[in-house]
């Protein structure tokens, strides 16, 4: 039990360290670009602030959902609906949630990580992320530009490919894991 806790802590520290290094890299990039074109770099800061304001409601929703999932979801429940034994039900849930979820993709990573820690299959995470390409409220705009038949065909292929990708990712990652286990 202690080892699991230690591993989790190590993983969290790694995430924080990686995140801070990345953030510092972007700040340095801004400083360098500022000397090349100060006006565009100012605009970039403004654009970033606008993006942040736009995603704030979704961030709040994600934190809320994470809290709710911590409270209600036990590893047993997650593994029943989204785990190894979830079957077709799991794929259908991942596809539906991917289509229904809103906001930027990266905002959903922490919640998915939480669900993964509770036992969600990696394939279902990939399927969820892929289906974020299918956005029902945006379909009218897409139809305006490309036509209804094109949008219908593309949407169907997107959903099929999302499941294929989920299955493939599981196969690839399992192969890696097996190889690593054998070499250990």
Find the shortest distance in angstroms from Cβ 78 to other proteins: 14
DSSP for the chain, please give it.
Answer: -HHHHHHHHHHHHHHHHHHHHHHHHHHHHHHHHHHH-HHHHHHHHHHHHHHHHHHHHHHHHHHHHHHHHHHH--HHHHHHHHSGGGHHHHHHHHHHHHHH--S-GGGGHHHHHHHHHTT--HHHHHHHHHGGG--GGGHHHHHHHH-HHHHHHHHHHHHHHHHHHHHHHHHHHHHHHHHHHHH-
Nearer to other proteins, 92 or 144 (CB): 144
Nearer to other proteins, 68 or 100 (CB): 68
Find the shortest distance in angstroms from Cβ 26 to other proteins: 4
Find the shortest distance in angstroms from Cβ 173 to other proteins: 6
Nearer to other proteins, 96 or 174 (CB): 174
Find the shortest distance in angstroms from Cβ 25 to other proteins: 7
Nearer to other proteins, 49 or 92 (CB): 49
């Amino acid at each position: 039990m202690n080892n699991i806790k230690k591993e989790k802590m190590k993983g969290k520290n790694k995430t924080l360290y990686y995140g801070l290094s990345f953030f510092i890299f972007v700040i340095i990039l801004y400083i360098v670009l500022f000397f090349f074109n100060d006006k565009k770099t100012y605009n970039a800061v403004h654009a970033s602030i606008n993006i942040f304001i736009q995603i704030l409601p979704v961030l709040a929703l994600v934190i809320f959902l994470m809290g709710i999932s911590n409270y209600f979801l036990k590893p047993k429940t997650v593994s029943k609906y989204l785990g190894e034994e979830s079957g077709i039900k799991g794929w259908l849930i991942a596809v539906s949630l991917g289509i229904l979820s809103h906001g930027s993709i990266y905002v959903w990573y922490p919640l998915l990580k939480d669900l993964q820690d509770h036992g969600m299959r990696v394939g279902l995470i990939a399927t969820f992320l892929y289906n974020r390409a299918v956005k029902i409220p945006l379909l009218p705009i897409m139809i305006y530009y490309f036509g209804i038949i094109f949008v219908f065909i593309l949407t169907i292929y997107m959903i099929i490919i999302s499941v294929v990708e989920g299955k493939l990712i599981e196969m690839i990652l399992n192969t890696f894991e097996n190889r690593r286990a054998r070499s250990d």
